[in-house]
């Protein structure tokens, strides 16, 4: 095993979710960052992601806020699962009671499941391949060469990563989902859809929220819509754990 600051890279024989054989000089099968393990699949752990993991900068602002605010009593809900980093962090490091995470990109779902299994949190995290919206239906999801930039927007301003596939993705009505889960902690990183989705949500059960804003796509009105939605539910902007585009809201602080 080699280490780099708080991040280490190791090969773990017989680890759940990993089926590659060890070989002398081979690349490590599992990457360790912030105490979490990630299968070293180059399709999803691209060079930039590896660098950010190595320097402990992968989703740093969001992760710092989540670690500070989410605790063992929380029912956590995540919109936009990515590589499974944040849902695993909440389940394993924050020890949230349960975690419900939603991801639109079907291509990444098997990898996220491997991350959950590898970290032993698959029994604690419910992963759903779906979008949330005003009502049940389907939507077109645009998968990009840089999968982290994939979204519902076909041609977002400034986007350089090309579309490599389109998917018809189930849409679940956010009202029913929120009523069933009743989350106390909400984490949201949905590439610009936050301005339309969050005002539709019943946020009254939420005590803490961590949201990555995308002002380059949603503009001032979109940012204001997000703030208004949380303020209407009794949550106030919490500057202590906010950092640039990652904003946090807290009830009764």
CATH number at residue 74: 3.40.50.150
Same domain, 31 and 85: no
Q: Count up the domains in the chain and report the number.
A: 2
- My answer on whether 221 and 138 are in the same domain is yes
Q: Rounded mean pLDDT of the chain?
A: 88
Q: Which of 116, 83, 118 is nearest to 98 (CA)?
A: 116
CA separation for the pair 41, 174 (Å, rounded): 32
What's the confidence (pLDDT) of residue 28?
A: 66
One domain for residues 9 and 73: no
Q: What pLDDT sits at residue 24? A: 54
Query: Do 132 and 197 share a structural domain?
Result: yes
**pTM attached to this predicted model:** 0.85
Q: What is the pLDDT of residue 21?
A: 38
Read out DSSP for 15-31?
-TT--PPP-TTPPPSEE
pLDDT, averaged per 10 consecutive residues of the chain (253 residues), comes to 41 39 61 92 89 88 98 97 97 98 94 97 97 95 80 76 92 97 97 93 97 94 98 98 98 88
Look at residues 41, 58, 75 and tell me which one is the last residue of a structural domain.
58
> pLDDT at position 159, please?
79
**Containing domain of residue 41, as a range?**
1-58
Q: What pLDDT sits at residue 98?
A: 98
Token pair for 116: 């959950």
Contacts 24+ apart (CB under 8 A), 45-53: 45/83, 46/146, 49/83, 49/148, 53/7
Question: Last residue of some domain: 58, 85, 105?
Answer: 58
């Amino acid at each position: 095993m080699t280490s780099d600051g708080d991040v280490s890279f190791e090969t773990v024989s017989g680890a759940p979710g990993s089926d590659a054989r060890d070989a002398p000089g081979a690349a490590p099968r599992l990457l360790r960052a912030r105490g979490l393990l990630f299968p070293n699949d180059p399709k999803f752990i691209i060079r930039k992601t590896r660098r950010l993991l190595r320097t402990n900068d992968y989703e740093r602002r969001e992760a710092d806020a989540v670690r500070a605010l989410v605790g063992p009593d929380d029912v956590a809900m995540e919109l936009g699962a990515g590589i499974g980093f944040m849902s695993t962090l909440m389940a394993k490091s924050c020890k949230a009671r349960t975690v419900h995470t939603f991801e639109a990109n079907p291509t990444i779902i098997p990898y996220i499941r491997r991350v959950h299994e590898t970290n032993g949190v698959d029994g604690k995290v419910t992963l759903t391949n779906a979008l949330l919206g005003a009502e049940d239906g389907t939507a077109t999801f645009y998968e990009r060469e840089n999968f982290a930039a994939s979204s519902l927007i076909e041609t977002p301003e400034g986007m350089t990563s090309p579309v490599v596939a389109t998917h018809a993705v189930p849409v679940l009505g956010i009202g029913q989902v929120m009523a069933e889960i009743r989350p106390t902690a909400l984490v949201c990183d949905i590439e610009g859809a936050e301005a339309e989705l969050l005002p539709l949500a019943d946020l009254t059960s939420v005590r803490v929220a961590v949201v990555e804003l995308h002002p380059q796509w949603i503009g001032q009105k979109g940012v204001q819509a997000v703030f208004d939605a949380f303020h209407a539910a009794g949550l106030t902007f919490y500057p202590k754990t906010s950092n640039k585009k990652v904003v946090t809201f807290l009830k009764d602080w």
